């Protein structure tokens, strides 16, 4: 799991990567998107105008369940593949990226001079992996087995560099209050399940997961030949539960103000006695004295727990974390064991991906930009970049108009908000300065070593940011990623090549579909910079107070109404959505769809949109929005997301349309229908 600092993504899951700078003026000239000009030139990929009508369920009233109306037949007829926890439009494109990357890697594999070819070949060579057994990881495990309390800080620093998760996480990122300077930021760690709630929240599902996790701990210890595994597994579990108790919850941990705690190493040592912070932080390679500690009380609690715990429990926990972290590059028995908990128990996925898919993912995750150069040359037409650039300008211009028209924002704040918008950097497709992997050694017969050296390379690269200029060219996703993100410190919005495809964007589709798809995605990322966290950052990317108290009060009141709306959604029987945890994403969806709609209307230049297959332009716009959210989940995956995913599930994301007046008119939604809100109940923020 890679931590993307201070960014908000379109959906969960992403990889780390690194350009182009396209500053987009806020007052961009209004023009219809290039998409509309091309619309009649060739056939769209889906249906006759870019929407798959056969996936609708017209027996459902749109006002009762807009998701089911637009997507019900698709949902009923679509099975989730055995190697997936969920399946939808994002997955269809992710599969396409995977297949295309496979073609690139199959070609590279025959070239001994190709780094990505060797990485892929080493992964596919399962026989060599099995023959080596656990030998490649034994030297590291032996370091863990012999560590004492005095050597722990040094060992954890090494674990950090090796990519083994332990009690504290960290990365070098921009200093929120001084965004021209990098700083080392630390966050709580030490638990093997994804969130403290899995240990502490009492319910039937968590009881089952806790038992499965305990069994997993035991199985891993057994696999590496440790005696007395059951009792030792219980001791690890009890220790992790204590750690979970001192952890901050996910809402506090996502609050940019609360997690900004600058301290010196000496101050941290005084606040969190019991652990050798100086040795640990210097061991990581940090030479600066100042750092940011995200959850200070958790650090105090964890340091105390580490001081009190028997060294044996700490060793055992690190052994399990090491095996789980490298499970994918060790013999199949280890990989299957990790998958049985993290894949099956936690996410409901019956089986692991085939080896070639995992080989593609491994290469993409560790040297994604080396693959990305080939990918964009083959699969990203320059016209897409040009059309996207125009769409972004149109949506940004619409956002500017929305800000001008806000009734709740003070005029002086509007000036600043417009300035922030004018300062946006937009990145489209791929970086124009690629990451240099020449220092990374990849061998065709050493999969474990490749994984270890890749982790060390990524760590060293991250630490080397300290003291240097901000690397504004870097990307946090690869071109093959089907996602998008907003980065607050950089004041940027980023759209990788792979999301700029149908159903999100099709140069041959009706503009209404493109505005409802990629237009709303653009709006979503723009709006993140004005969501409950993003709005705290000014036009330079600095965490600062730039609003008047009246603005803050009005914004928070509107936010509260949206929190209540999402709090009320029962996703699974007895399992409700957390409106606070998902607020930033829900503001992104609400404002994003609103601003995309305005941009669509403006693109028509005052003319009425044509009726296609009996559907008006407005109807098609909202159907385009609903279509990108087609997704079926396994129950376990959906349940896990309620606790770990800041995004609402696809059904509820689609329903955000109930806050937009034009949706009511387009589908004749009436009082008494399930999604109906009175005009006063509809939440309007941006």
Distance between CA 26 and CA 603 in Å, rounded?
16
For residues 503 and 461, the answer to whether their CB atoms sit within 8 Å is no
Q: 464 and 11 in contact (C-beta within 8 Å)?
A: no
DSSP states along 108-124: HHT-TT-HHHHHHHHHH
User: Of 10 and 554, which has the nearer Cβ to Zn ion?
Assistant: 10
**Cβ closest to Zn ion, residue 400 vs residue 523:** 523
Q: Which is nearer to Zn ion, 268 or 486 (CB)?
A: 486
CB of 646 to Zn ion, least distance (A): 8
Q: Shortest gap between Cβ of 10 and Zn ion (angstroms)?
A: 5
Which residues on neighbouring strands pair with residue 23, listed in sequence order? 425
From residue 302, alpha-carbon distances to 91, 160, 185, 240, 249 in Å are 38, 17, 17, 10, 15
Closest CA relative to residue 630, chosen from 170, 42, 10, 55: 55
Q: What are phi and psi of 283, to 5 degrees?
A: -65, -30
Rounded Cα distance between 153 and 437, Å, is 29
Shortest Cβ 580–Zn ion spacing (Å): 16
185 with 268: CB under 8 angstroms? no
- Minimum CB separation of residue 592 from Zn ion in Å reads 8
Q: How far is the CB of 69 from Zn ion (least distance, A)?
A: 24
Closest approach, Cβ 140 to Zn ion, in A, equals 37
Q: What is the binding site for Zn ion (CB under 5 A)?
A: 8, 10, 585, 588
Q: Is 516 helix (H, G, I), strand (E, B) or coil?
A: helix
The CB-of-484 to Zn ion minimum distance in angstroms stands at 8
C-beta closer to Zn ion: residue 330 or 587: 587
In the bound state with Zn ion, the residue whose beta carbon lies nearer, of 10 and 615, is: 10
Q: Rounded distance, CA 564 to CA 586, Å?
A: 12
Closer to Zn ion at the Cβ: 525 or 538?
Answer: 525
Least separation in angstroms between CB 365 and Zn ion: 21
Q: Which is nearer to Zn ion, 8 or 253 (CB)?
A: 8
Contact at 8 Å (CB) between 385 and 428? yes
Residue 576 CA: distances (Å) to CA of 169, 582, 590, 640 = 30, 12, 20, 12
Of the two residues 588 and 624, which places its CB atom closer to Zn ion in the complex?
A: 588
Nearest residue (CB) to Zn ion, 283 versus 516: 516
136 versus 646: smaller Cβ distance to Zn ion: 646
Q: Do residues 559 and 587 lie in contact, with contact meaning Cβ atoms separated by under 8 Å?
A: yes
Asked whether the CA dihedral 237, 243, 249, 250 is positive or negative, the reply is: negative
Q: For the chain, how many helices (H) and strands (E)? A: 29, 13
DSSP symbols for 149-168: GGGHHHHHHHHHHHT---SE
Q: In what order do the strands lie in the sheet with 262-264?
A: 168-175, 178-188, 290-293, 262-264
Query: 10 Å Cβ neighbour count for 18?
Result: 19
Closest approach of Zn ion to the CB of residue 528, in Å: 6
- To the nearest whole angstrom, how small is the minimum distance from the Cβ of residue 34 to Zn ion? 25
For Zn ion, the closer CB: 519 or 588: 588
Q: What is the dihedral of CA 479, 480, 485, 490, to 10 degrees?
A: -20
Whole-number minimum distance, CB 524 to Zn ion, in Å? 6
In the bound state with Zn ion, the residue whose beta carbon lies nearer, of 55 and 517, is 517
Helical segments of 423-578, H only: 447-463, 511-514, 520-528, 549-567
CB of 396 to Zn ion, least distance (A): 17
């Amino acid at each position: 799991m890679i931590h993307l600092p201070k960014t908000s993504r379109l959906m969960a899951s992403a990889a780390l990567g690194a350009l182009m700078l396209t500053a987009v003026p806020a007052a961009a000239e209004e023009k219809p998107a290039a998409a509309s000009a091309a619309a009649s030139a060739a056939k769209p990929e889906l249906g006759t105008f870019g929407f798959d009508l056969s996936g609708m369920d017209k027996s459902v009233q749109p006002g009762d369940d807009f998701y089911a109306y637009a997507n019900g037949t698709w949902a009923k007829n679509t099975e989730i593949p055995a190697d997936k926890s969920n399946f939808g439009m994002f997955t269809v494109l992710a599969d396409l990226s995977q297949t295309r990357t496979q073609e690139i890697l199959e070609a590279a594999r025959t070239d001994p001079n190709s780094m990505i070819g060797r990485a892929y070949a080493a992964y596919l060579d399962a026989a060599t992996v099995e023959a080596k057994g656990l030998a490649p990881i034994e030297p590291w495990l032996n370091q863990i087995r012999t560590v004492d309390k005095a050597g722990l800080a040094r060992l954890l620093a090494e674990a950090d560099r090796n990519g083994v998760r332990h009690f504290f996480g960290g990365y070098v990122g921009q200093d929120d209050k001084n965004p021209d300077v990098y700083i080392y930021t630390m966050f709580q760690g030490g638990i093997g399940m994804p969130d403290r709630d899995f240990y502490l929240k009492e319910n039937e599902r968590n009881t089952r997961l806790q038992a499965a996790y305990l069994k997993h701990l035991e199985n891993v210890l057994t696999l590496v030949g440790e005696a007395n595994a059951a009792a030792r597994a219980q001791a690890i579990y009890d220790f992790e539960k204590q750690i979970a108790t001192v952890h901050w919850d996910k809402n506090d941990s996502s609050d940019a103000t609360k997690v900004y705690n600058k301290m010196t190493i000496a101050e941290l040592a005084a606040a969190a006695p019991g652990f050798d912070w100086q040795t640990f932080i210097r061991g990581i390679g940090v030479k600066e004295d100042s750092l940011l500690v995200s959850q200070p009380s958790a650090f105090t609690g964890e340091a105390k727990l580490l001081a009190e715990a028997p060294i044996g429990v700490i060793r055992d926990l690190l052994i399990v974390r090491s095996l789980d972290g490298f499970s994918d590059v060790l013999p199949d028995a280890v990989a299957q064991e990790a998958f049985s908990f993290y894949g099956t128990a936690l996410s409901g996925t019956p089986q692991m991906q085939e080896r070639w898919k995992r080989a593609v993912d491994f290469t993409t995750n560790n040297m994604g930009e080396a693959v990305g150069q080939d990918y964009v040359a083959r699969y990203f037409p320059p016209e897409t970049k040009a059309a996207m650039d125009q769409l972004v300008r149109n949506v940004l211009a619409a956002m500017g108009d929305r800000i001008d028209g806000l009734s709740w924002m003070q005029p002086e704040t509007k000036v600043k908000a417009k300035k922030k918008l004018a300062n946006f950097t937009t990145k489209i497709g791929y970086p124009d300065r690629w990451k240099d992997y020449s220092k990374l050694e990849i061998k065709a017969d050493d999969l474990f070593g490749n994984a270890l050296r890749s982790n060390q390379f990524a760590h060293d690269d991250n630490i080397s940011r300290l003291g240097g200029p901000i690397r504004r060219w870097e990307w946090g996703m690869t071109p093959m990623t089907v996602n998008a993100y907003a980065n607050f410190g950089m004041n940027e919005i980023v759209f990788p090549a792979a999301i700029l495809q149908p159903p999100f964007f099709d140069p041959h589709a009706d503009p209404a579909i493109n505005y409802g798809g990629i237009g709303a995605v653009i709006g979503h990322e723009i709006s993140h910079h004005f969501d409950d966290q993003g709005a705290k950052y000014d036009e330079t990317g600095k965490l600062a107070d730039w609003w008047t108290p009246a603005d803050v009060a009005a914004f928070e009141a509107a936010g509260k109404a949206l929190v209540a709306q999402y709090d009320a959604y029962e996703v699974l029987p007895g399992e409700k959505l957390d409106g606070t945890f998902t607020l930033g994403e829900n503001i992104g969806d609400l404002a994003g769809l609103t601003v995309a709609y305005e941009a669509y209307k403006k693109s028509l230049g005052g003319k009425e949109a044509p009726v296609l297959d009996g559907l008006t332009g407005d109807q098609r716009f909202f159907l385009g929005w609903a279509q990108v959210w087609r997704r079926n989940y396994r129950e376990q995956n959906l349940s896990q997301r309620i606790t770990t995913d800041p995004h609402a599930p696809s059904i509820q994301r689609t329903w955000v349309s109930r806050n937009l007046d034009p949706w009511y008119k387009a589908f004749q939604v009436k009082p008494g229908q399930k999604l109906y809100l009175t005009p006063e109940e509809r939440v309007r923020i941006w």
